[in-house]
Amino acid sequence: MSDKRRPLSPDDFFTDPIQIMWGLDPVRWRPSLYVGATDDGTGLHNLVFVVVDDALDQAGADRVAVTLNRDGSVTISDNGAADPLERDPATGVSAIETRLTILESQARGRRTGQASVSEPPGILEPPGILEPPRYDGPPGLGDTARISVAFVNVLSEQFGLRIWHAGQAYAIDFAHGDPVAPLRCTGDSQGRAGREVTFRPAAGSFPHPHFDHDVLAAGLAERGRPDLSLSLVDARRVPD
């Protein structure tokens, strides 16, 4: 019996908009490819730098304080604009949870073909063909252009975000990138505004999860400008 099949036409493809949500498992599996070498401190310190750069570039902060805590965690606080608090209709959870748990495709690929796209794609994608990600090698120390805060979250044993906005205080917490306490209002802001991230790097991803004060101080100095206030406190050095 002959196998007669109807030839495919363009109408057979992309009849509906395509949603692409990039999970963070690849970052868990090969963290060095995404945040830098994990055995020499490069990737570890880049986690701090990407949160600092997010505060400066995305939130528009002009004051950022970094504190190295005794339990191995680090806290980065800023006076920047609040992260989005509304529900994301694409994911059904808060926009900030979406931002911290989904690797947006704009960092990894672009569309070609019938869809003419001049900007990198976001979470919701128009019809088109997704090219394989271009790999330019792991980032070096301080190179955070290809790293998002979601990477920091997924490579942390614990990750907590506190937001003070419009008179209210909010919190959301994660473990190894998975939400353990959703976004919630925790009370009055008591006049405070801004954000605070506290995370502890996952020992399984970083063999030596010890932050070097001098490396971080040098990285902050490189980001310094007359209109910025950047500070670093090493609480590990404070005597009991």
pLDDT in tens, 137-183: 667 776 777 778 999 999 999 999 999 999 999 999 999 999 999 99
Query: pTM for this one?
Result: 0.77
Q: Check residue 55 and report its DSSP letter.
A: I
What are the chain's domains? Answer: 19-237 (3.30.565.10)
CB 183 within 8 A of CB 99: no
Comparing CA positions, the residue from 153, 179, 175, 168 lying closest to residue 82 is 168
- Identity of the residue numbered 184: R
- Angle made by CA atoms 22, 28, 29, in degrees to the nearest 5: 100
CA 127 to chain centre: 26
The pLDDT tens digits of the residues spanning 80-126 come to 998 888 888 888 889 899 889 887 533 332 223 332 233 333 333 33
Strands (E), 45-130: 63-68, 74-78, 111-112, 124-125, 129-130
Beta-bridge mates of residue 77: 65, 196
- The two beta strands, 229-234 and 18-19, are unpaired
